Structure 1
């Protein structure tokens, strides 16, 4: 039997030990110290620059109203987009299980934090008396963390307005008595 595999493994381990040893030696020889404040200010007062930077921060983009797009939205496209974007965490069938996220059957028009036994975030429970109307869903699907600060939902959102309209029309169809369109 050939010892080639052992030679290769020994070479990899030796290289790893050599690199680790070089890192330790470099750490001992060189002690970089971080400065408490920048050594060069380039003529700017750091205290004055902070408010200017905060003021220059771009405002969150306004999300256009979804109402006008709902009439032309396609529920089949919405079903595909919902399965692709939401299906890993949510179920859509009547009486379906809660997963990482709650079942979404009958969500349009229902109050926030409505699923019995589901562990909602405090941000969602705080809105329990408010319904998931078309605009609330639009804001949430666009950017959950911005629409509901403190949500535990780790989803970046959907920027495409037409795709959000399609998903909302699909979610509207998940009911025995769908909410009328605006």
Structure 2
């Protein structure tokens, strides 16, 4: 019998090389597939980020427009409030116009002889009357006349002084304006 020897080494070596080549091929294929998946995912995320950035820009533009409109509305409200205040002042002045004439008329009518006004000032409904008088009794008569008037109330003497005996004295009175009954009925 003849023996034949078969050498299996080269066959196993070829098989190992073939498997190694297949493994490397599969490894490269998996790496390529991973890179493709990563590229697709990265592109999708970048696209979503870009889309959200555009939406944010649109929203920021609308916010700027709304802030401008709010500023315009605030300015219009301020202008409106200023106009309303001016209208109130004008209406108040128009309403008080006739009463000023009556007040000055009453100031003259209540003034006794020997008394002169040097200054009349008004703050709200309070009048401050400064003047000179021949005597203290003339000032008291002025105060009684003012209290008896329909247009004034609460006459109060703030200051009275004469520099020398027998000379005219200076005085300061405060009196409040009252609304006469006839004018209250007219309102």
**TM-score range normalised by the length of the shorter chain:** under 0.3
Q: Given the two structures, how large is their TM-score scaled by the length of structure 1? A: 0.23
Q: Which has the higher contact order (CA 8 A, sep 6+)?
A: 1
Q: Given the two structures, how large is their TM-score scaled by the length of structure 2? A: 0.22
Query: Larger radius of gyration, structure 1 or 2?
Result: 2
Greater strand fraction, Structure 1 or Structure 2: 2
Greater helix fraction, Structure 1 or Structure 2: 2
